[in-house]
Amino acid sequence: MIIVVTGPRGAGKSLVLEKVAESLRSRAISLGGVISRGLVEDGKRLGYELVCLADNRVLPLANAAKRAGNTPGDNRVNYGAYDFCAEALRIGNQAVFDGMGRDCLFVDEIGRWELEGGGWSRYLGMLRERQGPALLAIRQDMALAVAERWSLTIARIFDVHSLGIPAVIDGVLRELKKTLTRER
For the segment 14-46, what is each residue's pLDDT rounded down to a tens digit? 999 999 999 999 999 999 999 999 999 998 899
Distance CA 42, CA 7 (A): 22
Percent of the chain topping pLDDT 70: 93
Question: Any idea which fold 2-183 has?
Answer: Rossmann fold (3.40.50)
Handedness of CA 12, 14, 15, 21 (dihedral sign): positive
CA distance 110 to 154: 14
C-alpha torsion angle, residues 44, 145, 130, 173 (rounded to 10): 50
Contacts of residue 79, defined as CB under 8 A and 6 or more positions apart, other chains included, come to 113, 118, 119
Confidence of residue 65 (pLDDT cuts 50, 70, 90): confident
Query: What integer best gives the mean pLDDT of the chain?
Result: 93
Confidence of residue 68 (pLDDT cuts 50, 70, 90): very low
CA distance 64 to 82: 4
Bridge partners of 134, per DSSP, are 2, 105
Rounded Cα distance between 102 and 100, Å, is 6
**Total-model pTM:** 0.92
Q: Strand, helix or coil at 63? A: strand
Cα–Cα distances (Å) from 83 to 32, 48, 89, in that order, read: 25, 10, 11
What is the arithmetic mean of pLDDT over 45-53? Answer: 96
Contact, 21 vs 172, CB < 8 A?
no
